[in-house]
Amino acid sequence: MSFGKRLGELVDRFGPFCPGIDPHAALLKSWGLADDVAGLRVFAQICVEAFGGQVAIVKPQSAFFERFGSAGIAVLEDVLAGLREAGTLSLLDVKRGDIGSTMGGYADAYLSDASPLRADAITVSPYLGFGSVQPALDLAADTGRGVFVLALTSNPEAAHVQQATYDGRAVAADVIDRVGRLNASADRFGDVGMVVGATTGKQLADLGLTGALADAKAPLLAPGVGAQGATFDDVRRGFGPAASLVLPASSREVLAAGPDVADLRKAARAGNEAAR
């Protein structure tokens, strides 16, 4: 089954909310854990127990595992395996972006059936040119996985690239159109998603992009709900006709409920109820 169809079935079952797994130093400390590999492993095990089989999709942030070197990557492999075993989709936030064989190497690392780091989907950056992510798109299509392309992010410094005008239109608009063409045959969720910040509603309106987002049939990862200031109402209003495609994502807010597994599950359920 394609990634988009699997996602649709799980969203119907659990809801569209996407909790994150972001083991940064301050969060480990707040859970009473040391900022080392042992603390990371305990944190990761709790998150997998709390979210696995309870939500449609979970977004581990690779950077917070990579900072511990190979031992941290080993923990990330266990997280991805645990989510697979629980039947929960993993969206690994790696934001890889490169060209040619190097991008192919990244694709092999995260999207190949043979890789211990394989996820159900990854984030990629198209801002070396949309064609630069083609190796990831090709391998994801071959293995039934997904790719989420950065489109319009909420960090202020992104505007001079993503909202720059090229050939008479915003660069982000071109990204959205290209994703839409890739998803043309999808019924609901295509296999190629996009990352659109939850706080970007005004930019979407100013650039006239809400209609194009809806037409692209892309699952829309919308980070920024909660600690970054966006609300579920902001998403509903800001994304307009594309709101039904949104996967609202939150890391710090939902993880603040830990380390108790039951409390984390309660926070994830609350996220899904609000998202619905």
Q: What residues are labeled active site?
A: 95
Contacts of 171 (CB under 8 A, 6+ apart): 127, 161, 162, 163, 164, 165
Contacts of 108 (CB under 8 A, 6+ apart): 115, 139
Q: How far is CA 255 from CA 37, 52, 139, 169, 245, in A?
A: 18, 14, 32, 39, 24
Is there a contact between 97 and 107 (Cβ–Cβ < 8 Å)?
no
- Taking the C-alpha atoms of residue 82 and residue 156, their distance in angstroms, rounded to an integer, is 35
Contacts of 89 (CB under 8 A, 6+ apart): 3, 6, 7, 10, 56, 57, 58, 83, 120, 121
